[in-house]
Amino acid sequence: MRRRASSEPRTAITHSTTVRVRFDECDPLGIVWHGNYIRYFEDGREAFGREHGISYLSQQEQGYASPIVRMECDHQLPLKYGDVATINVWFCDSPAAKMIFEYEVMDPQGKVACTGRSVQVFVFTGGDLALTAPEKFLEWKRKMGLLNG
Amino acid sequence: MRRRASSEPRTAITHSTTVRVRFDECDPLGIVWHGNYIRYFEDGREAFGREHGISYLSQQEQGYASPIVRMECDHQLPLKYGDVATINVWFCDSPAAKMIFEYEVMDPQGKVACTGRSVQVFVFTGGDLALTAPEKFLEWKRKMGLLNG
Amino acid sequence: MRRRASSEPRTAITHSTTVRVRFDECDPLGIVWHGNYIRYFEDGREAFGREHGISYLSQQEQGYASPIVRMECDHQLPLKYGDVATINVWFCDSPAAKMIFEYEVMDPQGKVACTGRSVQVFVFTGGDLALTAPEKFLEWKRKMGLLNG
Amino acid sequence: MRRRASSEPRTAITHSTTVRVRFDECDPLGIVWHGNYIRYFEDGREAFGREHGISYLSQQEQGYASPIVRMECDHQLPLKYGDVATINVWFCDSPAAKMIFEYEVMDPQGKVACTGRSVQVFVFTGGDLALTAPEKFLEWKRKMGLLNG
């Protein structure tokens, strides 16, 4: 993955989870179909959310959603049926009203199969874009040491 | 597919549609993964609904949903990536508060790849089972000549 | 699920695994889309295969495959996003050259969400149907106490 | 989508196709799950390939594959169940041994729902990266007026 400008640096807030590659996630070439890595990223991001207290579910309860507005994915090595892959997720800090994550999917030998990056914005339940981050998210950032005050 | 008892006979109300097999719907054996036929059945049932005026969407507007409670699928020949398959759907008449469809997926050579049968019940928006069919559905059956009165 | 005739009885050879419901496996009604239970059945069957030494992978190495020729699925209660479901799988004994499994998917409260049954036959790598079960499968049945000799 | 540097400009070689949004492609928010746009891109790219004579299938016959090594996706508006979306695909010219496509998914009102960009490289059947583009691809570029000679 192309390295980002320093305005949205990867933080030390991270989480790892594993996923077992399903038979139906592999294509006629015998490898994981490229679009399925988006699922693995989501598996990683949700596990991160459960670990660090910032999950989809809790957000919907608080009157907003956080749709993904940009996704990037770089494929380096294929995963195969039955592989148990490790998904590493990092929270990237941004001054904007955004949530940014970076991803790394490792094959069973510990080699990088795929990296990625997602950008989420905040929208109110009605669908309008939130121009400032929700208070709960700011609280979370304070708790994680990413914001003062 | 095992033939059904005559209490839920296949009617002459039918519809055909086509679907092109996607690359990611095929598995490492190079053929459509068995679970993906459920999608093709749904493609066929929805095309039937659009043709005959009994779609998912219109049902949700009328305060009820019609979840699938039973699905059967018999696989006879594989479909491959790039195949354009034909999906034939028949409405099966039942005296009960149910919607029953039978399916036939044909390969490009006109051979039967897969047959199936689904059973749907009616539930109110709150989730409770409707013990009698919704009036709109009975109206539809009258219009199609399946009910008198 | 309708109970089967006794010629293919459920054995005591069973396995349980769990699966976490993904966000993208749920539909606009907020529940697992019915076709996705076929994946959970496969998750269960593969975990069974790893536990009891009869997996897809090892079969492909031995020159045959075991495609699913029939699938039945009965839906009783919905699963929702984030649910951790339990999948119970039983091997059903058949005198024919078939592998038959029964499935039970339990919701987090231990209620039955869905049951199912799959029938697999054996085909040689070239695609021809095997009229007798492969020796490796008979060996496995002997090891599990399902065959004498 | 961020505009690209001029070394890989969008050409006038383009194709449009349509896709009907499936029920199971929508998530509990009632909109297409973000990862499913990768499928729509593939639908568009394959329709492009059939139209312009450069499909997956024909490539595999010629001893190489063209795996996707990078994918970008920018989400602007949601698609909903039942929408018939239009997928526009452009071939982008690159001096490197790569195939680059840009995508635009339009909602039924003609507004941009999503844009994207994919990069494919060429690998030989054995898996090794091809450092020069296959002759068939160069022939195709000549035929399309993108290469002299």
Q: For residue A3, is it within any domain?
A: no
Q: For residue A147, is it within any domain?
A: no
Report the gap between the CA of A42 and the closest CA in chain D (Å): 9
Residue B3 pLDDT level (bands cut at 50, 70, 90): low
Q: For residue A113, is it within any domain?
A: yes
DSSP one-letter code for D25: G
pLDDT of residue A124: 86
pLDDT of residue D1: 44
Q: For residue B127, is it within any domain?
A: yes
Q: State how many domains chain D has.
A: 1
CA dihedral C6→C7→C12→C16, nearest 10 degrees, is -90
Q: For residue B1, is it within any domain?
A: no
CATH number of the domain at C86, please: 3.10.129.10
Residue A57 pLDDT level (bands cut at 50, 70, 90): low
pLDDT of residue A4: 52
pLDDT of residue C1: 44
Nearest residue, CB atoms, A28 vs list B30, B35, B36:
B30
Q: For residue B119, is it within any domain?
A: yes
* Residues D63, D134: Cα–Cα separation, whole Å: 9
Verify whether the Cβ–Cβ distance A42 to C56 is below 8 Å.
no
pLDDT of residue A128: 87
Residues in chain A within 8 Å Cβ distance of B39:
none
For A115-143, write each residue's pLDDT tens digit.
999 999 999 877 789 999 998 899 999 99
Span of C33-42, C58-67, D92-101 with lowest mean pLDDT: C58-67
Verify whether the Cβ–Cβ distance B24 to D46 is below 8 Å.
no
Strands of chain A, DSSP E: 10-20, 64-65, 68-75, 84-92, 98-106, 112-121, 123-124
pLDDT means per 10 residues in chain D (149 residues)?
A: 66 97 94 98 96 77 87 97 97 95 98 98 87 90 90
Distance from first CA to last CA of chain B, Å, rounded?
34
Percent of chain B with pLDDT over 70: 91
Are D116 and D71 in contact by the 8 Å Cβ rule? The answer is yes
For B42-98, write each residue's pLDDT tens digit.
999 999 999 999 876 566 777 888 999 999 999 999 999 999 999 999 999 999 999
Residue A1 pLDDT level (bands cut at 50, 70, 90): very low
pLDDT of residue A6: 57
B73 at A interface, C-beta within 8 A: no
Q: For residue C117, is it within any domain?
A: yes
pLDDT of residue C65: 86
Q: How many whole angstroms from its chain centre is CA D141?
A: 16
Report the gap between the CA of A115 and the closest CA in chain D (Å): 10
**Half-sphere exposure of residue D48: CA atoms within 13 angstroms, side-chain side:** 23
Q: For residue D149, is it within any domain?
A: no
For residue C61, what are the domain limits?
10-142
